[in-house]
């Protein structure tokens, strides 16, 4: 199959609609990462997503809709706090989980009675969703367990020959996946951290819980238990106060002829003074935006990525650390 990469215009949108309507999948840009989308009403199309990615079939998908879509046709029992949160943060990188009305394919939620819904703010994503005017089930557009894609080139590298069309909407500015928020209980509970932080949610909703998954527990958000975001090379992760250990390892490995790279924020990069650095940038938003592209850049040349955690561990860095830990374990 030939994979076309097209900028978003009338022609590529018309093609994307044709593909979606005949049960195919299309890669689309969003403000977080690129998604691999299919018609959420079409079971065979949704199953195709799992097949293409090699995604475990108990890891549910998020349904994406345009900003005027009436989500009350898809889900039930939208609590008051969720309405406030939607007003404050949507369209944007926040996915909200509700009780499902069971109208989309069962394959989307892998048998759960809930449905995760997201309204992306990316202009290209909105144009695509409006054009097809269907709920689009879409996980990240990468091979399962690999680093998520933040450019059309990243998607092409993983899925060339496996899908017909990648809509190119430039670099995803957020850089890490949406915050997933359980809105089925008395208070909102974060299932996956992201750019909309616990502090931001608590400010609007009054309270916000956080679900912490431990190995062996029944995961309410099955994605939590899987290995994720991993580059195709060896990785190791040090705490922010272990830079001396990281540099020692870097020097030992380079001495053995191993191509080692340090992956860290700008402050640590300046302190380390080593040659091969994958610099994630200065503030938390820059670090999130660059994380996946630097992991992908690293895996192309490095034998070993030595990551050093940022000192700041709250806000957006909670989401960054969640990805970095999974990438490096």
Q: Does 109 bind ligand AMP (CB under 6 A)?
A: yes
- Nearer of residues 57 and 73 to Mg ion, judged by Cβ: 57
- Tell me how many degrees the CA angle 137-65-49 measures, rounded to the nearest 5: 10
Cβ-based neighbours of 323, under 8 Å, separated by 6 or more: 176, 177, 228, 229, 291, 292
Residue selected from 27, 85, 96, 97 as contacting ligand AMP according to rule CB under 6 A: 97
For the bound state, the minimum distance from the C-beta of residue 183 to ligand AMP, rounded and expressed in Å, comes to 10
**37 beta partners:** 26
| For residue 91, cis peptide bond before it (omega within 30 degrees of 0) | yes
| Number of chain residues interacting with ligand AMP (CB under 6 A) | 19
Q: Does 59 bind ligand AMP (CB under 6 A)?
A: yes
Q: Does 191 bind ligand AMP (CB under 6 A)?
A: yes
Q: Does 115 bind ligand AMP (CB under 6 A)?
A: yes
Cβ neighbours, 10 Å, residue 323: 23
Alpha carbon 170 to chain centroid, angstroms:
16
Q: Does 298 bind ligand AMP (CB under 6 A)?
A: no
Residue selected from 19, 46, 94, 116 as contacting ligand AMP according to rule CB under 6 A: 116
Q: Does 174 bind ligand AMP (CB under 6 A)?
A: no
What 3-state DSSP class applies to 124?
helix
Per-residue mark of binding to ligand AMP, 222-261 (x: CB under 6 A): xx--------------------------------------
Per-residue mark of binding to ligand AMP, 128-157 (x: CB under 6 A): -----------xx-----------------
Dist. CA 267–CA 285, nearest whole Å: 15
Q: Maximum CA pair distance of the chain?
A: 61
Alpha carbon 219 to chain centroid, angstroms:
18
| Number of chain residues interacting with Mg ion (CB under 5 A) | 2
Per-residue mark of binding to Mg ion, 103-142 (x: CB under 5 A): ------------------------------------xx--
CA distances 311 to 67, 143, 192, Å, are 37, 31, 21
- Nearer of residues 49 and 262 to ligand AMP, judged by Cβ: 49
Which of Mg ion, ligand AMP, none sits in contact with 97, Cβ below 5 to 8 A by type? ligand AMP
Sign of the four-CA dihedral 15, 17, 22, 23? positive
- Nearer of residues 183 and 260 to ligand AMP, judged by Cβ: 183
What 3-state DSSP class applies to 189?
strand
Interaction site with Mg ion (CB under 5 A): 139-140
């Amino acid at each position: 199959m030939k994979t076309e990469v097209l900028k978003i215009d009338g022609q590529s949108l018309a093609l994307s609609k044709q593909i979606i309507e005949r049960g195919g999948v299309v890669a689309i840009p969003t403000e977080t990462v690129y998604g691999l989308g299919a018609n959420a009403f079409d079971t065979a199309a949704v199953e195709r997503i799992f097949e293409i990615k090699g995604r475990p079939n108990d890891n549910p998908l998020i349904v994406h809709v345009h900003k005027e879509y009436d989500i009350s046709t898809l889900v039930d029992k939208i609590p008051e706090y969720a309405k406030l949160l939607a007003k404050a943060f949507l369209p944007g990188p926040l996915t909200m989980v509700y009780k499902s009305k069971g109208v989309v394919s069962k394959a989307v939620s892998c048998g759960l009675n809930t449905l995760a819904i997201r309204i992306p703010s990316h202009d290209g994503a909105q144009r695509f969703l409006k054009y097809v005017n269907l709920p689009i089930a879409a996980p990240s557009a990468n091979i399962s367990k690999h680093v998520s894609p933040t450019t059309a080139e990243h998607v092409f590298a993983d899925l060339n020959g496996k899908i017909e069309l990648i809509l190119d909407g430039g670099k995803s500015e957020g850089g890490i996946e949406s915050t997933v928020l359980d809105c089925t209980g008395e208070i909102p509970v974060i299932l996956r951290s992201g750019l909309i932080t616990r502090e931001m949610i608590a400010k609007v909703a009054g309270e916000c819980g956080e679900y912490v998954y431990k190995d062996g527990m029944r995961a309410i958000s099955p994605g939590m238990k899987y290995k994720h975001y991993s580059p195709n090379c060896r990785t190791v992760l040090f705490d922010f106060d272990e830079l001396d250990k990281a540099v020692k390892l870097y020097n030992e490995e380079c001495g053995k002829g191993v191509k080692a790279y340090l992956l860290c924020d700008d402050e640590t990069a300046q302190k380390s003074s080593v040659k091969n650095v994958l610099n994630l940038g200065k503030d938390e938003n820059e670090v999130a935006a660059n994380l996946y592209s630097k992991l992908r850049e690293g895996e192309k040349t490095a034998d070993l990525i030595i990551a050093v955690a940022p000192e700041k561990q709250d806000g957006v860095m909670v989401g960054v650390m969640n990805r970095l830990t999974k990438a490096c374990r």
